[in-house]
Amino acid sequence: MNVLNPESSFIPVEGLFYIWKMRWLLFLSRLALICNLFFLLSASLQVYDWAQNSEVNSTILIIGYFLSLILNPVTNFCYLMYAILRKKIADVIPLWLIIANIVFLVIQLLFILHLTASNNQLQ
């Protein structure tokens, strides 16, 4: 027998517990997306110095290059683990957020490969 939540007749209580348990991954996904947007800002700062304030530049670069290169692979690894365990994360995390974080991971990997290739050409 399925016990229903009195506030919503569509979500069982077990489903609410599952959603509450997955809130940390939703928070991590949102944080990774924000850091990924700062990664784009950091890459644009390399091309053109549009922010003249050095404190703003350093904050953007730290969030963009350091935090996004740590948080985004961790987030995508969690997606992979939940996919291997056959858990439904699309019920808790919007699909566009999952796809955006995966696309940013590919962009970051290409960026790292580009930096590595350009450093090898200089030596």
In a domain, 13, yes or no: no
Q: Considering the domain boundaries, does residue 19 fall inside one?
A: no
Residues 6+ apart with CB under 8 A from 35: 63, 64, 67, 68, 71, 72
Cβ(105)–Cβ(74) under 8 Å? no
Q: Flag whether 2 is in a domain.
A: no
Contact 72, 109 (CB under 8 A): no
Helices (H), 6-64: 13-21, 23-47, 54-61
From first to last of its 123 residues, the chain has per-residue pLDDT tens of 444 445 555 555 566 656 667 788 999 999 999 999 999 988 888 888 777 777 888 888 888 889 998 999 999 999 999 889 888 888 889 999 999 999 999 999 998 888 888 777 766
* Domain assignment present for 14: no
Q: Which domain holds residue 75?
A: 24-118
- Specify if 88 maps to a domain: yes
Residue 107 lies in a domain: yes
Which pLDDT score, from 0 to 100, does residue 2 have? 45
Beta bridge partners of 12: 4
Round to whole Å and give the CA distance between 22 and 11. 15
> How is the chain split among helix, strand and coil, in percent rounded to 5?
75, 0, 25
Q: Is there a domain that residue 7 lies in?
A: no
Q: What is the pTM of this model?
A: 0.76
Q: Domains in the chain: how many in total?
A: 1
